[in-house]
Amino acid sequence: MGSRALLLVKEVSSSLLPKNQFLPNFNSHRKFAQVLHRRRSFSAATTAGSPPLEALDVPRLAETARISLTPQEVEEFAPKIGQVMEWFGQLQAVDLESVEPSIRADTEGDNFRADVPETFENRNAIIAAIPNYEEPYIKVPKVLNKE
Amino acid sequence: MASTVFRSFQTHPFVFHPTTLLRRKNVLLYCTMRSQQTQTATQEKVKPQVKVSNLNPNKKLENISKDYEAVIGIETHVQLSTQTKAFCSCPYNYGSQPNTSICPICMGLPGALPILNFKVIESAVKVGLALNCKLAMNSKFDRKQYFYADLPKGYQISQFDVPIATGGYIDLDIPVEFGGGHRKFGITRVHMEEDAGKLMHSDDGSYSQESTFRFVDLNRAGVPLLEIVSEPDMRNGIEAAEYAAEIQRVVRYLGVSNGNMQEGSLRCDVNVSIRPIGQLQFGTKVEIKNLNAFSAVSRAIDYEISRQVLLHSQGQDKEIVQETRLWDEGAQKTVTMRKKEGLSDYRYFPEPDLPGVFLTQDYVDGIHNSLPELPEMKRRRYEKMGLSMQDILFLANDMNVAEFFDTTIKKGADAKLAANWIMSDFAAYMKNEELSINEVKLSPQELAELIAFIKDGTISGKIGKQILFELLAKGGTVKGLIEEKDLVQIVDPAEIEKMVEKVLSENPKQLDQYRGGKTKLQGYFAGQIMKLSKGKANPGLLNKILLEKLNAKS
């Protein structure tokens, strides 16, 4: 797995060389979405010399993602997440001194939209799916800012 | 840091009642701004009195202040006036029925994918160039994660480590009444991001602490913003307010935003710290939000500086903590909103749903060549025309006023005269009637005409004024009005002489008094003759002939 990731980094940096043109290309939304789904690839570290990865703290990670975990789950997930982090740790070790930072792994998709308004037809379905709606507002519990 | 910015603002635009907003919209900016700044200026002078009385009456504060230096940086959020949101085609109109302009993309529904509105890039490039920044030819969007009800996706699409523009500056001129002078403030970066929705405390926008619910309007979620971050180059409230005002002028000149602070289209968060003069290390930074007007920017900063200086000088500098404070317009002070507990962890990463943003030199050059004349260029051009700084700032403040002025002088009017006309009765009329310069019926062509008729002596300045008001209110042409109302100035000496003689013969008593030494009565006679001529007598000729007649038989 580590070597695969390494390969990816190389590909990314070489694909950066021919710079893409800024040409507004107004693909239809659906088409673009499909393209993106197929092409969704993992974007590698964008900056050279990233700081070393933090030590894994599963409870804190769960908290930042607003996920509640039982102590058993914390124990169960820790080694799995740790493994993923280790793979990234290997990436950190790659010498990128002579490599131009990659902005995005995906450099082909300059897709833009013209500034033409279009009203979404099925608003009622969206509203109907809102758990607590009080015309015309979405009602949410008062929460104190956590940050 | 920026995410917190949105939250506080969502709750506050509702302090203003919508009708006040509409009314204010029509008032020319410089009118409101000037008056606000006058207040600020007054407050500056009575600094210790006004501000410190809230804390602790201390007349020594002004002296103490001299030992400290304030360091101020500003984050400005500019809402772009695009037709649609940043990543979906939902139209955005300020004041629409809540939750009407929504779709799966801006609602963050599963599977929905964003597509960038190219107008957002165009606006960002315009602003980047106008602020003399270096553009990143390759940049990207990132996800900034935080949880709040105004942000349906659970992350904001923003730009993190590669903003579209960096390292620029902005030039401005401080108004004469605040000491004048030219300033150059650094721009750290400009980046593109999406706005969050609006979170309200209750239906009517009032604050009710008891309610356990909040109401969300997601019309604004996904609306494009530019965040402009300044270098910490400002040293007092006036400089900060002028910086914000110049940003507003720039985005309005560029046409990328309406820049209305009351609508939240231009929001400023300021960071203020103080340090003893000579100290290199910055003091603890306090962030102030809820600044809905330039006057609030200025006053909140000056209040905050005083508060920090006072604490520091009393050895209580530990009381200055890294926190977010709100400006309380009613109490004219800043109050703690929340203390910062450690740095927020936004876990930025590149937005996988969007491709990178790649600019070509041709594209950038094209935009560069199409930029309008910006406020700073206008001011320097007006300066070369010999206008005073007061005139320059007035004219260049509003793009439409500047355009009116430019067209007037293009039609041949003298610059100084045109500036005088626009700044005096004309401006007063617009202010009283709450009209913008584009709404008045007078055209630049006619103003130029009016000035020319006064200059060549066809009409007197006084008649010119009458005609001006007539034209402002009803339109028409100067020529037409002069003919219609028979307003041509009387320059025939014989005709004026007749009128002089008539007035002198009707006022024998005053004539005797004049000849008895009460020469001040000349003004009285002149007034009577002018009245008789219905304001049309040439004042120079009138006075000349009058004097001759008065002194003839003595």
pLDDT band, very low/low/confident/very high, at A61 (cuts 50, 70, 90): confident
Number of structural domains in chain A: 1
Does residue A99 form part of some domain? no
Of A37, A111, A136, the CB nearest to B97: A136
Domain range for A60: 50-93
| Measured distance CA(B372)–CA(B254) in Å, rounded | 7
| Residues of chain A above pLDDT 70, percent | 56
Q: Which residue has the higher pLDDT, B457 or B76?
A: B76
Residue B84 DSSP one-character state: B
> What pLDDT is recorded for position B51?
38
Q: What is the mean pLDDT of residues B419-440?
A: 92
Contacts of B104 in chain A (CB under 8 A): 120, 126
CB proximity list for B119: less than 8 A, separation 6 or greater: A114, A115, B80, B82, B83, B224
Q: Rounded to a whole number, what is the distance in Å from the CA of A125 to chain B's nearest CA? A: 10
Contacts of B352 in chain A (CB under 8 A): 40, 42-43
Q: Rounded to a whole number, what is the distance in Å from the CA of A87 to chain B's nearest CA? A: 17
Chain centroid, CA A88 distance in Å: 15
pLDDT band, very low/low/confident/very high, at B79 (cuts 50, 70, 90): very high
Of B102, B145, B350, the CB nearest to A123: B102
- Nearest by Cα to B242 from B74, B46, B14: B74
Q: Are strands A133-134 and B134-135 parallel, antiparallel or unpaired?
A: unpaired
Q: What is the mean pLDDT of residues B79-86?
A: 98
Does residue A32 form part of some domain? no
| Measured distance CA(B93)–CA(B126) in Å, rounded | 22
Q: Does domain B493-552 have CATH number 1.10.569.10?
A: no
Q: Which residue has the higher pLDDT, B117 or B60?
A: B117
> What pLDDT is recorded for position A50?
52
Q: At what angle do helices B478-485 and B444-455 cross, to 10 degrees?
A: 50
Q: Are strands B68-79 and B224-230 parallel, antiparallel or unpaired?
A: antiparallel
Q: At what angle do helices B399-410 and B444-455 cross, to 10 degrees?
A: 50
Of A104, A137, A147, the CB nearest to B355: A104
B84 in Cβ contact with B366 (< 8 Å): no
Of B91, B121, B161, the CB nearest to A117: B91
Contacts of B221 in chain A (CB under 8 A): none
Cα radius of gyration rounded to whole Å, chain A: 22
Tens of pLDDT, residue by residue over B295-333, are 999 999 999 999 999 999 999 989 999 999 999 999 999
Contacts of A20 in chain B (CB under 8 A): 356, 358
Does residue A55 form part of some domain? yes
Q: Which residue has the higher pLDDT, B22 or B119?
A: B119
> What pLDDT is recorded for position B252?
97
Q: Which two tokens stand for residue B83?
A: 């037709």
A52-56, B384-388, B474-478, B499-503: the lowest-pLDDT one? A52-56
| Measured distance CA(A55)–CA(A62) in Å, rounded | 14
CB proximity list for B180: less than 8 A, separation 6 or greater: B173, B174, B389
Does residue A134 form part of some domain? no
Q: Indicate yes or no: CB of A146 within 8 angstroms of CB of B98.
A: no
pLDDT of B249 over the 60 cut: yes
Give one DSSP letter per residue of B316-378, joined into a string. Answer: -GGG--SEEEEEETTTTEEEEEEE--S------EE-TTS--EE--HHHHHHHHHHPPPPHHHH
Q: What is the mean pLDDT of residues B464-490?
A: 87
Q: Indicate yes or no: CB of B4 within 8 angstroms of CB of A127.
A: no
Q: Indicate yes or no: CB of A21 within 8 angstroms of CB of B358.
A: yes
**Residue B429's CB: how many other CB atoms inside 10 A?**
16
Q: Rounded to a whole number, what is the distance in Å from the CA of B406 to chain A's nearest CA? A: 32
Tens of pLDDT, residue by residue over A73-128, are 999 999 999 999 899 888 888 888 888 877 776 555 567 899 999 999 999 999 99
Q: At what angle do helices B478-485 and B461-474 cross, to 10 degrees?
A: 110
- Nearest by Cα to B70 from B235, B251, B310: B235
Of B116, B213, B345, the CB nearest to A140: B213
pLDDT of B547 over the 80 cut: yes
Q: Rounded to a whole number, what is the distance in Å from the CA of B263 to chain A's nearest CA? A: 19
Tens of pLDDT, residue by residue over B110-168, are 999 999 999 999 999 999 999 999 999 999 999 999 888 899 999 999 999 999 999 99
Q: Indicate yes or no: CB of B84 within 8 angstroms of CB of A116.
A: yes
> What pLDDT is recorded for position B25?
36
| Measured distance CA(B296)–CA(A110) in Å, rounded | 42
B228 DSSP β-pair partners: B76, B190
> What pLDDT is recorded for position B17?
38
Does residue A58 form part of some domain? yes
Contacts of B101 in chain A (CB under 8 A): 119
> What pLDDT is recorded for position B332?
93
Tens of pLDDT, residue by residue over B179-223, are 999 999 999 999 999 999 998 875 454 445 556 888 999 999 999
For residue B209, the chain A residue with the least C-alpha distance is A142
Does residue A34 form part of some domain? no
Q: What is the mean pLDDT of residues A54-75?
A: 88
Q: Indicate yes or no: CB of B89 within 8 angstroms of CB of A138.
A: no
> What pLDDT is recorded for position B253?
98
| Residues of chain A above pLDDT 90, percent | 31
> What pLDDT is recorded for position B290?
82
pLDDT band, very low/low/confident/very high, at B459 (cuts 50, 70, 90): confident
* CATH 1.10.10.410 location in chain B: 493-552
Altogether, the residues listed in chain B come to a count of 554
Does residue A33 form part of some domain? no
| Measured distance CA(B144)–CA(B142) in Å, rounded | 6
| Measured distance CA(B355)–CA(B359) in Å, rounded | 13
- Nearest by Cα to A144 from B291, B212, B334: B212
Tens of pLDDT, residue by residue over B332-389, are 999 998 776 555 678 899 999 998 899 999 999 999 999 999 999 999 999 999 999 9
